[in-house]
Amino acid sequence: MRLEDETGFVLHARHWRETSLLVEVLSRQHGRVGLLARGVQGERKQALRAALQPLQSIRFSAVQRGELAQLRAAEAEDAAPRLQGDAMLAAFYLNELVLRLAPRHDPLPELHAAYARVRERLRAAEPLAWSLRRFERDLLEALGVGFDLEHDVDGQPIDPAARYQLDPLEGARRLLSDRGAGERNATATGRGLLALAHDQAPDPLDLPGLRLGLRAVLLHHLGGRGLKAWDMLRDLTPR
């Protein structure tokens, strides 16, 4: 199968043998694609190597042979966001999350669009914690495993004043009031869930609960094996 004039975002690139790269791309029409880019060393290939860096938006052509596609041509469509510090770690997290959860060769145009949005939020230096929560929500929706953020598992409207545990399969489960403080702190507020549902920036106090609640959901879909980024990424607070 030939991939002609395809667009996508570079998620990861690593050296293979002496002159080649193994590249993972989230493409618009074919989902996650593994590319083998041969012979990319040398001064003449500098532009190609630059185009195959993580976060870069590219237009490429390749021939699919087995699990990997042989890259024929690629060029950058724009300048990738220049990130530092927490923003760079956040990008590493986003890419690792997509690599782990998005299956290869499964078209996911909603995920491609969500990645494009969060990429621009990183470029614009929007609040990191909120940008990540929005992408996590959109990722789950694109993969078909999202859930209702306005009603709990019993079909009742989310109460802004209550706290909820996020069940990966069923959704928001209201927390009983007699639970301990530690357990309550690891749950999302109803107010935060409604803000996420309506895509409205929540109160900063609601962001830690959303992070922990969504992390539990993601961990389930990751098969219980966490991300390297979680060991690197400190708790991002809104700026």
pLDDT at 105 over 50: yes
Same domain, 71 and 102: no
Same domain, 57 and 92: no
Helix axes 109-123, 128-142, angle to 10 degrees: 170
pLDDT at 96 over 70: yes
Same domain, 7 and 33: yes
Predicted pLDDT at 7: 95
**Residue 238 forms part of a structural domain:** no
Give the SS3 label for residue 206: helix
pLDDT at 40 over 90: no
Predicted pLDDT at 67: 85
**Cβ-based burial of 22 (10 A; exposed 0-12, middle 13-18, buried ≥19):** middle
Predicted pLDDT at 108: 95
pLDDT at 231 over 50: yes
CATH code (residue 41) = 2.40.50.140
pTM for this prediction: 0.91
Predicted pLDDT at 184: 57
Q: Compute the distance between CA of residue 22 and CA of residue 154 in angstroms, rounded to an integer.
A: 47
Mean pLDDT of the chain: 91
Q: Compute the distance between CA of residue 33 and CA of residue 22 in angstroms, rounded to an integer.
A: 11
Q: Compute the distance between CA of residue 38 and CA of residue 119 in angstroms, rounded to an integer.
A: 27
Q: Compute the distance between CA of residue 130 and CA of residue 237 in angstroms, rounded to an integer.
A: 9
What is the spatial order of strands in the sheet that 188-189 belongs to?
171-174, 163-167, 188-189
**Residue 40 forms part of a structural domain:** yes
Q: What's the pLDDT tens digit per position in 200-211?
A: 999 999 999 999
Parent domain of 149: 85-232
Same domain, 103 and 46: no
> 58 near 51, Cβ under 8 Å?
yes
- Split into its structural domains, the chain has a count of 2
pLDDT at 39 over 80: yes
pLDDT at 43 over 80: no
Confidence of residue 31 (pLDDT cuts 50, 70, 90): very high
pLDDT at 44 over 80: no
Predicted pLDDT at 176: 83
Tokens at 198, concatenated? 């309506």
Q: Compute the distance between CA of residue 24 and CA of residue 17 in angstroms, rounded to an integer.
A: 17
Task: Report the candidate in 120, 141, 136, 226 with the shortest Cα–Cα distance to residue 188.
Answer: 136
Same domain, 41 and 144: no
DSSP 146-189: ---SSBBTTSPBPPTTSEEEEETTTEEEEPPTTS-HHHHHTSEE
Q: What's the pLDDT tens digit per position in 146-188?
A: 999 999 999 999 999 999 999 999 999 999 865 555 555 679 9
